[in-house]
Amino acid sequence: MTTPLPDGQGRFGEFGGRYAPETLMPALLKLEDAFQSAWADPTFHEELGELLRTFVGRPTPVYRADRLSTQLGLNLLLKREDLAHTGAHKINNTMGQALLTRRMGKPRIIAETGAGQHGVATATVCSLLGMECAVYMGVKDIERQALNVYRMELLGAKVIPVTSGAATLKDAVSEAMRDWVSTVEDTHYIIGSVVGPHPYPWMVRELQKVIGEELIVQLDGSSLARTPADVIVACVGGGSNSIGVFHPYLDEDVELVGVEAAGHGLETKEHGASLVAGSPGVLHGAETYMLQDDEGQVREAHSISAGLDYPGVGPEHAYFKEAGLARYVSVTDSEALEAFALLSETEGIIPALESAHAIAWVLREAESLAGKTVVVNLSGRGDKDVDQVKALNG
């Protein structure tokens, strides 16, 4: 049996922890206590479960990609998180944290977003529960995710442009943390992934592991699987969708593969592959793998996908890498674009560019995967990316 983590200090082995300004420490400790209390309360689970069923649309289905399976010579299954309300797995986390915010008596929620899906999911649950919502977003991402910006505003959220740094996800996280420092008494910060100081990586994992727990039940005795799942594949930016599907499988005989963004190529340093090509350091409140220069300064990440354009990764993934619990690989922008088009053409499913990275790895490794049952966690749908891909294709 795999040892449950994090430990009492919020660490996954040597990774994780709580590196935060002194002014935030009381709030983080209160948040940990509040979540522990809620997670042990059957009434909290009952309300969350009911909303996940009736509002979010869980369980999301598992679909066998017949044409692509035949083409590749393997049994390709898709866990359809793209069919969850708002179009991605993000709402699993925001729904739970919004209910927790209400339980803590705070009226305002802030969030950061890159691809916009976490921002939309946060705005959605704030609208549902009648809470004030502000979402920080880099101006570069505002430009390439204009549809999601409008969706957030339509849902009543205030979208706050971030111009500092590279004006992408890293910088949006930094600005949201600055807001939280000054408004912590009446504001809760819903971090969008398994990153940040403890208790966030643990809390978000607990809210996202519904993905893997559903998958285990869905494949048990299912004709879809033909054989038990051999490989589970998911894209990794901060890492919440991948932790969500990986964690329940830790004690199963299944290979877990996390796919990062290789961008223009690892050799160019214009990528987002923190685990594949980064090194340990401290980023946004946690010790983890990250992109940094020789002086320890954070390097800017690049990916065609706004959601994978982050120079770090959740500390539990760093632990998985060191402990050999999962394998981490990377896929370039061009490979992701090819997968985006191929899944659309062969299966009638337009994936998010994030999810296309996971599909791209399966395409590249099809020969070594021949005859196996491969499950891809299709973390989101590609409506938000269509205009960007159209512009790239001229």
Phi/psi region, residue 233 (left: phi>0; alpha: psi -120 to 50; beta: rest), is: beta
Strand order in the sheet with 279-283: 11-12, 15-16, 286-290, 279-283
β-strands 373-378, 75-80 pairing: parallel
3-class DSSP assignment, residue 314:
coil
- Active site members: 90, 112, 379
Q: Show contacts of 339-347: CB within 8 Å, 24+ apart.
A: 339/363, 340/382, 340/385, 340/389, 342/68, 343/65, 343/68, 344/382, 346/65, 346/67, 346/68, 346/71, 347/65, 347/67, 347/68, 347/78
CA distance 238 to 201: 10
CA distance 245 to 255: 12
Beta bridge partners of 107: none
